Amino acid sequence: MSKLAATFRLMRAGWIMTREGVISALPAEGLSGLPAFGHRVAGLLARRRAMTAQRSERMSRAINKLGPSYVKLGQFLATRPDVVGNEVADDLALLQDQLDFFPMEASVKAIEGSLGRSVEDLYVSFNEPMAAASIAQVHPAFVRNNGELKKVAVKVVRPGVRQRFNNDLESFFLVAKWQERYVPATRRLRPIEVTRTLAQTTRIEMDMRLEAAALSEIGENTKDDPGFRVPTVDWERTGRDVLTLEWIDGVKMSDIEGLRAAGHNLIKLAETLIQSFLRHTLRDGFFHADMHPGNLFVDSEGHIVAVDFGITGRLGKKERRFLAEILYGFITRDYARVAEVHFEAGYVPHHHDVSSFAQAIRAIGEPIHGQPAETISMAKLLTLLFEVTELFDMETRPELVMLQKTMVVVEGVSRTLDPHFNMWKASEPVVGGWIRRNLGPQGILIDARDGANALLHLARQAPELLARADRLSQELDQMAANGLRFDEQTAKAIGKAEARHTRSGRVALWVIAICLVAITYKLVA
């Protein structure tokens, strides 16, 4: 029954996107047969007023009609151009996450239920909301700490959003499963894994304690960084459904004229922004993955203040080394090393030829040499690199794609602040310093220390590993003597799975039949 409900929710979503002209606005190059026919039919069924709007406007209108879950889906896919393509990702990045306010009474109920105290006890004053997004809305309020009155921002989770998201998530998983089953070419993108990532990131975003923890961690990481900070968290007034944090008075980085009027140095801000992002990425392995200008402020002291840490990204040591080595390889024109790094990291299957891959890398790197440094985009370089790796069966690395997309946004903001921004010159102190520390003699010592610790840990586990190996040997001997046997419970589970597969196939056929009848009726009428 849940699959049937998910299917009908998908049909509703498809109808809304068709009527708002989203389907007909999607790229149709290369389509033939039934998909091309469906694209033409979608154009006939779209509203006339929708057909005159830009694709980004159509998407925004349709997604906001579909509700918070689809807004969050759109924002997430904006960080995954590998899944939806660069053009669609750019359109999704323009989504205006502005939903209707929910009642003040609902906010009060959520706060008191989450913190177990009355709003009057928690805040000196608690005011009407000033901004509403897909997950939460923000209220200005005042608190008294150590006798001092302070203004704070209070984020409150939207009522019912968790249940709504869980329902829609079934539909998202259903689409991902159909895609993996019926469109083999997209399996490399691992759509089910992408959907799991969406589910995990959104569940984290709907728990205000986890966003507060992200703010706190980045705050500790950056406490000594020049020109960058994050708001402080009021942990006493933070719970599952509410986050209270420092109120930021500043100019949004999207307001270029406002920044000039406030006397800020735009060239210095551009340099600070990119260096801060690279520090978070390479040094800390933990970065803000939604650094669009609306989430960046400049305070009166000229510090960049980042807000809204619902979407963050993490890079392990291997991924950070991979990133640094490929950037350094392009700078030094050592394309063989760039290719080797991909193979060493296990990103490109070993049945491919390293020399052929290095040749493809050279095709990316050579055109940028000889150009003025201020015209070379690091983000574009990574985009081209990921496009080439598709030819060599490199599987999607979600953490690297999220990094690349965030770098596109951050670099774009820096170039808006300074049209002559030299990305490489600004990045060198951070990237060069990290390479010297981690790939030079100091890095070798660190690797040796980490290797010794790993060996010590393995030695401690040796008795348990030997016992496991002995049990496995005995089980293999039994299988060799008696053959592979299923217990009764396993056999029943296989039977149930097969029955579900058959039922889902019949349901899918009925849904397709109903859709075709509806389209035919519409055309005839």
SS3 of 205-244:
HCCHHHHHHHHHHHHHHCCCCCCEECCCECHHHCECCEEE
Structure tokens at 524: 């005839």
The contacts found for 483-492 with CB under 8 angstroms, 24 or more apart, are: none
> How far is the C-alpha of 374 from the C-alpha of 65, rounded, in Å?
42
Instruction: Please name which of 249, 243, 236, 229 lies closest in space to residue 157, comparing C-alpha atoms.
Output: 243
Other CB atoms within 10 A of residue 383 CB: 19
Query: Which listed residue (290, 308, 334, 418) is catalytic?
Result: 290
464: amino acid identity, one letter? E
Q: Is 290 a catalytic residue?
A: yes
Interatomic CA distance for residues 219 and 211, integer angstroms: 12
Give the pairing of strands 286-288 and 250-252. Answer: unpaired
Strand, coil or helix: what is 5? helix
- Residue count (the chain): 525
3-state SS string for 337-372 = HHHHHHHHCCCCCCCCCHHHHHHHHHHHHHHHCCCC
Structural contact between residues 250 and 297, judged by C-beta atoms closer than 8 angstroms: yes
- Eight-class DSSP state of 329: H
Q: Are 409 and 274 in contact (CB under 8 A)?
A: no
Residue 128, SS3 per DSSP: coil
Rounded CA-CA distance 137/213 in Å is 19
For 61, residues 6+ apart whose C-beta sits below 8 A from its C-beta are 20, 50, 53
CB atoms within 10 A of CB 368: 19
* Residues designated as active site: 290
